[in-house]
Homo-oligomer: A and B are copies of this chain.
């Protein structure tokens, strides 16, 4: 035999000799049952929990979404404080368009005819004065409303305050109406059009479902029981589903979330992927640890008088901001998570013999026989050739 041929032969042996453990077949119903039962538990876990409940065989993707909203409704206000006024969508939706949220004006403090001028500050401990010495020209108090001119003026017959440069007259925002001005806003409706995409699965969907027709959409209104897929919502209904009272919330404003859950299992026919709506108040309504409770902001409408002077109407707008929050995770069968989860489960299957072996050598009736049979102590092996000794060896404890 040449050297290279021997080398080749050795390589073949190295590469293709198959090593397999010598196994011992134990025909014991007890051990066999423990073995199969443990196997059954692992398989049940994999099939029942990982696959059916957790859907761990799926690859997932998060939703990307676009929202357009269109509010409908009008109101007429006629309170003692303000003059009669008709409100339509161009008046109470600020800003007129926005993505993912819309603001509905419900209450306000209006300060009309403001001009750049100077006027006495609103009375407060830091602004009241006796004479000009209490006021410092150029000082701007962060809690005040303008830059002091250094003069002390009569605010009213009883109070004297420092004069400030500002938009005058100053806004007196403590005069917030106790009952919301636009209480009629509770009957406004909003149409929410939501279009979503799961880019990984190239899956597109709209919240206006394919099977509904235009005539249904013109008269429907969302209701969890009767019309769960109508995309038209009455504001009052949204607020009450969030566990709030519209009248209460309208006074100081707030932020209300319209949550659309698009969690879907895309393995089944796609028609089953439907939006689930829920509603939740997002700001803190409790007055504890709450600065600036509710939701409000200031904006102004600017005018020019005939002689070119700029005036403005300042509006401190209280209202409800509705945030449309779209979320969801879609899953679809994918080979990688399946393999990973099956692999992990297989690892646990490889633990099963450990359990069965432990049962075999501790609880089984013939445990001593089994123990000696499948655990061969090497010491015994060393004297294995002598068959007589070996037998006696098996009957001894063999542990020294």
Compute how far the CA of A284 lies from the CA of B193 in the bound complex, rounded to whole angstroms. Answer: 9
Tell which of A94, A291, A374 has the most Cβ of chain B within 10 Å.
Answer: A291
Known contacts A22-B24, A72-B142, A357-B20: A90-B336 contact under CB 8 Å: no
A277 CB-CB contact with B under 8 Å: no
Contact B97 A99 (CB under 8 A): no
Q: Is A100 an interface residue (CB 8 A)?
A: yes
A288 contacts the other chain (Cβ, under 8 Å)?
A: yes
Q: Does A224 contact B (CB under 8 A)?
A: no
- A96-B95 contact given A17-B25, A22-B21, A23-B376, CB 8 Å threshold: yes
Q: How far is the CB of A119 from chain B (nearest CB, A)?
A: 11
Complex alpha-carbon distance, A374 and B25, angstroms: 10
A1-37 residues with Cβ-Cβ distance < 8 A to B are: 9-10, 12-13, 15-29, 31-33, 35-36
List B contacts of A317 (CB < 8 A): 96
Give every chain B residue within 8 A of A12 (Cβ-Cβ).
29
Q: Is A303 interfacial (CB-CB < 8 Å)? A: yes
- Of B20, B22, B54, B283, which is within 8 A of A353 by CB? B20
CB contact between A23 and one of B22, B312, B345 (< 8 Å): that residue: B22
Judging by beta carbons under 8 Å apart, are A295 and B18 in contact? no
User: How close is A53's CB to chain B, nearest CB, in angstroms?
Assistant: 9
Q: What does the 1/0 interface line of A292-336 toward B look like (CB < 8 Å)?
A: 100101111111111000011010010001010101000000011
B-chain residues with CB within 8 Å of residue A379 when the two chains form the complex? 27
- Residues of B within 8 Å of A323, CB to CB, are 66, 99
- Nearest CB of B to A145, in Å: 7
Question: Is A373 an interface position by the 8 A CB rule?
Answer: yes
Given A214-B289, A299-B90, A385-B391, A36 contacting B64 (CB threshold 8 A):
no
Give the oligomeric copy count.
Answer: 3
Interface set, chain A 86-129, CB cutoff 8 A to B: 86, 88-91, 93-101, 103, 116
A-B residue pairs in contact (CB < 8 Å), sample of 15: A17-B27, A18-B35, A19-B26, A20-B23, A20-B374, A24-B381, A68-B283, A68-B321, A96-B317, A191-B292, A304-B311, A343-B347, A346-B347, A370-B378, A385-B391
Chain A residues in the interface with B (C-beta under 8 A): 9-10, 12-13, 15-29, 31-33, 35-36, 45, 49-50, 54, 56, 62, 64, 66, 68, 70, 72-74, 76, 84-86, 88-91, 93-101, 103, 116, 140, 142, 145-147, 165-167, 187, 189, 191, 193, 195, 197, 199, 206, 208-214, 217-218, 255, 257, 259, 261, 280, 282-284, 287-292, 295, 297-306, 311-312, 314, 317, 321, 323, 325, 327, 335-336, 339-348, 350-351, 353, 356-357, 360, 369-370, 373-379, 381-382, 385, 387, 390-391, 399-400
